[in-house]
Structure 1
Amino acid sequence: MRGRAVDLAVALFVLICTLPVVGLFVTSFRDKDQIAASGWWTAFSPVEETRAFRLPDRGEETGVLLGATLTGSVLAGDGRVTGFGITPRAPVAFAPGEVARFSGGGTVTVSADGAFSVSDRSGHAGGRRIYYGARLSPRLTLGNYVTVLGAEGLGRSFLNSAAVAIPSTVIPAVIACFAAYALAWMRFPGRALLVSAVVVLMAVPLQMALIPLLTLYNSAGQAFGFEAKSYVGLWLAHTGFGLPLAIFILRNAMSALPGAMIEAARMDGAGDFVIFSRVVLPLTLPALAGFAVFQFIWTWNDLLVALVFLGPQDDTLVLTGRLLNLLGSHGGDWQLLAAGAFVSIAAPLCVFFALQRYLVRGLLAGVSR
């Protein structure tokens, strides 16, 4: 009974976490107007919308326009008119086929397929607006992804994000491996204090330390003559923020290894470096992979640290910054936001699926000790 309850709770948690991703994915293929009219869960069913249409000017000879259709310019050929009206207060007061009379003279009728007829012998009906309710078929399109992928500079920003994320993952992972081994299996004064410091540093907010870190880096740059805005500074920043978590995870994994195995290696004449490289490191690869997944996703999706250390220049702008600029230039185009989100998570998803079998094993390493 308890196991079934746990399975049900896990399934519910997975569903809650998955639904927003599914909604974002469906939204990325939807039309802008339908996104504004209904939720993503209605993407595969007809949508009811109310719209306005400006009547063309009156014909010069007969005063009657016949056969012009709303379908060509408004309904895009995939909808049906469910009602129409001549005031915004009653946009569907008339059924399709009925005749509506304007207060200043003239009549209009709209059929279900969108064709309308205007009779304007008074000279006042032309140019007025009519309102109509439309039942539109679902519209899914790849145009959102075409717009996002075709944005100027997107390829360069993708490479910039890779140039940030890959070194920012490898550098702290390498340093943390050595530090974790020392804290797990080497005896020296102050080891317990260092372990406590690592745990405390995990709680330091990034926003609190970012500006002092940038000031320190700029001062060092002036002293040693290197650029203030560079990838090196960004790598060092991400390394500093990622090291506490990396050391914590790897130390737990290394501490969980059997002590008899380490002692047997020492009795065979192996030194610390040999034990680390040939015994400990291969057994802690799952924990290392687990940290690498989290660090890569964090650095790939980062915008704040990248803007602080690289700036908003076009040649150094990361992918998240490029997509933000794209949304800024297009206003409230939420379909571009959804498509851009899935473009930006393509690389993290590849890393996650490649290393997912190590992820849970790495995060649980050392828990039983």
Structure 2
Amino acid sequence: MRRLALSWFAPAVLSLLWQPVARADDGDAFIAGYATSLLERDFAMTGVSVRVEKGILYLHALDLVGHEREKVVAALSRIRGVRAVRILEPDSPPPVATEPPAITPASNRRGGWQFLPENRIFDPLLADPRWPHFSVSYARVIQPGAVELRNVGMISLGEHVNFVEYDSEVAGRFGAGLQPSVNGIFDLNAPSKDLVNADYRLGVPFDYRYGRFSAEAAVFHQSSHLGDEFVFRFPQPRINLSYEAVTLKISQDVGPVRVYAGFGRMVHTVPHNLPTWWAQQGVEVTSLIPGFSDSVAPVLAVHLEEHEKTDWNVDLSLRAGLEFVNPANSRRRFQILVEYFRGFDPNGQFFIERIETVGIGIHLYF
């Protein structure tokens, strides 16, 4: 059944991703059309003149009469690919494509080199259990593995730090950074809430974005360690699992929907006989609630992975809930999500154990 799910889902994702990279004016036309639809749907604004130049969205102030300007700007700023929103006053000159990006809280992008840039190039994978970010979750283990865990706490401590970015304004945006993270799982039924396993990862990502298309190549090291109290309570052979790997992911935005796919390969492993390849696919939907709030959006994310070392069976991660953002700085995200996982355990040496969990978590992206 799981392989059947992969047989339809993976081609569907890849068919959406396998598109010619759009020209800049194609991306502008898409943004203009989507923005027009959003204004009609959420604000009952018809006949509005929307113009987009190189990702900068222009509106006339007269079109906003009778509407809350800040809410309109915040909603338009969340459209993927929008660099900034500029309001043209009645006496403003017509927009010129070569002038500096504007200057709303939506973006502070500039062409050329930037050190420690503010904006993301490749967005987080919201349902990936190993994407580096800050989170704390509770999970009820429906189907335990070899160790009878029932109530577990999970934390992740990490972030994607952008060190440098180059914006060519013609060929797209390029960036490099660092991805440090720690993922821990705790046995909440133990008297001292024992640490079961901790995975330590350090990655170096290289990101690219052109309009609605983005990609990330990365190299990383991961090592896994069992908790001392856990080993004392459940004596078992330790597997000093560690490896170095390379990955490539591509992503396409289609309105409020994002689809992505990728693969990875371990280039060095301990133990040395581990199969090395894996693949991943996913889809995310984030959209404002019409007429409700410009700071709250429902989120639905599905992430699938298939590993050679588990005979290419599908691991499913599903997350759904609410996302809260500050429209003045949309990079920072706070999420409360219901979480479901079914597949092989992503935690350290337990990767050969099939588990099923359901829970709730808080996730922070800075």
Question: Do both proteins adopt the same fold according to a TM-score greater than 0.5, normalized to the shorter chain?
Answer: no
| TM-score calculated relative to the size of structure 1 | 0.19
| TM-score calculated relative to the size of structure 2 | 0.20
Which one has the bigger strand percentage?
2
Higher relative contact order at CA 8 Å, sep ≥6: structure 1 or structure 2?
1
Instruction: Please identify the structure whose Cα radius of gyration is greater.
Output: 1
Which one has the bigger helix percentage?
1
